[in-house]
């Protein structure tokens, strides 16, 4: 995702508002979790 690549870009891209870091961390965490398994 763009959020995971921000630190690897040249030059690195910083968040405009550092208070949003927890939101970025949440998005990265959810994007790596397995899909929800719906019951039959």
Which residue would you say has higher pLDDT here, 28 or 32?
A: 28
Name the domain count of the chain.
1
Residue 40 counted as domain residue? no
| Cβ proximity of 1 and 27 under 8 Å | yes
pTM over 0.75: no
| Cβ proximity of 5 and 31 under 8 Å | no
CA–CA separation, 38 vs 6, rounded Å? Answer: 33
Write the pLDDT tens digit of every residue in 2-21: 778 888 888 988 889 999 99
Domain coverage including residue 13:
2-32
Residue 10 counted as domain residue? yes
């Amino acid at each position: 995702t763009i959020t995971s690549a921000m630190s690897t870009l040249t030059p690195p891209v910083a968040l405009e508002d550092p208070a949003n870091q927890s939101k970025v961390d949440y998005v990265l965490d959810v994007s790596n979790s397995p899909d929800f398994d719906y019951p039959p």
